[in-house]
Structure 1
Amino acid sequence: MTEEDYRALNRPLWDERVAVHFGSDFYDVPGFRAGAQTLRDFEIAEVGDVAGRRLAHLQCHFGLDTLSWARRGARVTGLDFSGAAMEAAQGLAADCGIDARFVTADVYDAPAALGETYDIVYTGLGSLVWLPDLGRWAGVVAALLEPGGFLYLSEFHPVSHMLDDETGTTVAYDYFDRSPQYWDEPGTYTDGGAALTHTRSVEFQHGLGDVVSALAAAGLRVDFLHEHDHTLWARFTTLEQDGTVYRQPAGRPRVPLMYSLKATRPRV
């Protein structure tokens, strides 16, 4: 599959989802307008103080996490290949009085499209499965970083993609399968959108070793890799809500459901 093939398949799906997601309870845009933020506690703790720092958010959808970093003092730029998402993000920023820049471009074209470098590159949950080439992605991240700057990545753990879709207690999928995965699903992961027109997509699975190796090959130094025993929704029927996250019940064997990673561009 060529780049144009996967972009042509995935972009209409994401363009159409924007309006549905923007109006969904899942994203709660009214709550955000009222002052809420969407970052996870572990992200805030691991990234640290962002006040005055230049932050680029790659594959930012319609920018709630991007604007949440801005509310914490970062000077933010969001990038996404969906023009509809960028239009919605810029409008939301204006409505909320938040200074932010949003650019429509494919992530692989980010260095040319953004035209500047950053102290922090942030990539949020559910992004990497849409990218066929992690090596090229890591090169983009390195090109966007100032010396001494860092990537912060939080993602769903690839081990969770191996498990059966119902209970998450048995291995049902091949961890090492790197073939494109085609989907045709009528709705979306938020409430609403049952009548969506663009339902076909393609995803690409990457192991944890793939991610770390790609970053290392791009010249970045991995500072930490943290694995988490929780996720953000009831991914499996066995998970129980614990505050704002979901975990296996006490006494049940745990598997990693999310991970977070920091990788720095060395100064020398």
Structure 2
Amino acid sequence: MEDREKWFRTNRANWDERVPIHTKGEFYDVEGFKRSGEARLRPFELREVGDVREKSLLHLQCHFGLDTLSWARLGARVTGLDFSEPAVEAARKLAREVGLEGEARFVRANVYGAREALAGERFDIVYTGFGALNWLPDIRGWARIVASLLAPGGFLYLAEFHPFADVFADDDLTVEHGYFHPPERPRVWNEPGTYADLEAETENNVTYEWNHTLGAVVTALARAGLALEFLHEHDHTLFPRWPFLVRDGSGAYRLPAGEPSLPLMYSLRARKKAGARHEPSPGP
């Protein structure tokens, strides 16, 4: 438990420092989001989630709320949850600025404390977006939390970077990291800047991260009592993972034509049974 608190404290300091960089930079283009009035979500997410009008949607690890507010623009009643106070404050400010304060609320809490922070509330949809699961040391505990937050008949929708892509080096397809990694030994990184601004000057540069395999994620959800409806793997990603990726007309990054394809992202939907009232026991 002491190690876990250190991991969370260190990661939170990293994210707290980067919130103002992200809200002001070109990567997220917050001003463009304000002007457009449109949802900023990936086309396959919109297809796979479906109509969210009048649905209650909880976005776990929401950062400063761009995706959360995008779902609100599509008609959902949204709640965003994040462990960074600056992120939650920025999300609330953005909600006011785009006129969605009445349709969106933001709560500061660690994912593992979400049930207590939300006082037992249940949701039609729990949504988790890209770059979220790698910050969680306990994927089985996460799945149980998700199940407890869903109303009977509700579903989790997860869109995430594919863990297989993490075995490769940063500059080429040399295998540099193992696919299987024990959760009690996180990967430790010390990297200045941020994916949104590589040249940004930062002080809190250490992070602890975990690579959860596809099998571990699906099994955790099944053990938590959720029924998998689909699992889709995607051959493109949202950023130049390697310098040789090619950006297409939709803004996605792909391997060059003629190169073997690789799974770079995945998405899944898992539903809580309509008659379910209690979460299953944690199990081994």
TM-score by length of 1: 0.97
1:167-206 alignment runs, 5 A limit: 167=172, 169-178=173-182, 179-191=185-197, 194-206=200-212
1:86 paired residue number: 88
Superposed CA offset, 1:144-170 (max 9, x none) = 000100000000001100112112x23
Q: Corresponding residue for 2:110?
A: 106
What code does the residue aligned with 1:22 have? T
The letter of the residue matching 1:111 is R
| Residue 157 (structure 2) aligns with | 152
**SS of 1:2's equivalent?**
helix
- 1:230 maps to 236
| CA apart distance, 1:193 | 6.0
Q: 1:60·1:80 contact (CA, 8 Å) conserved in 2?
A: yes
Q: Give the match's secondary structure for 2:115.
A: helix
Task: Give the Cα–Cα distance (whole angstroms) in 2 for the partners of residues 30 and 23 of structure 1.
Answer: 9
> In the alignment, what sits opposite 1:50?
52
Aligned partner (choices 269, 272, 276) of residue 265 of structure 1: 272
Which of 109, 124, 135 is 1:119 aligned to? 124
Contact residue 63 and residue 87 of structure 2 kept, 8 A: yes
Aligned-partner Cα distance in 1 for 2:176–2:7: 26
Q: 1:24·1:192 contact (CA, 8 Å) conserved in 2?
A: no
- Aligned Cα root-mean-square deviation (Å): 1.1
Structure 2, unaligned runs of 5 or more:
276-284
Count of matched residue pairs:
267
Amino acid at match of 1:213: T
1:248 to 247, 251, 255: 255
Q: Does 1:5 pair with 2:11?
A: no
Contact 1:225 / 1:261 at 8 angstroms: preserved in 2?
Answer: yes
Amino acid at match of 2:233: E
Deviation at 1:56, TM superposition (A): 0.1
Q: Counterpart of 1:139?
A: 144
Offset at 1:223?
0.5
Q: Does 1:22 align with 2:27?
A: no
- The alignment's TM-score, normalised by the length of structure 2, stands at 0.92
For the Cα contact (< 8 Å) 2:38–2:73, is it kept in 1? no
Identity of aligned residues (%): 56
In 2, the alpha carbon distance for the partners of 1:62 and 1:91 equals 9
Deviation at 1:50, TM superposition (A): 0.1
Tell me which amino acid in the other structure corresponds to 1:176: F
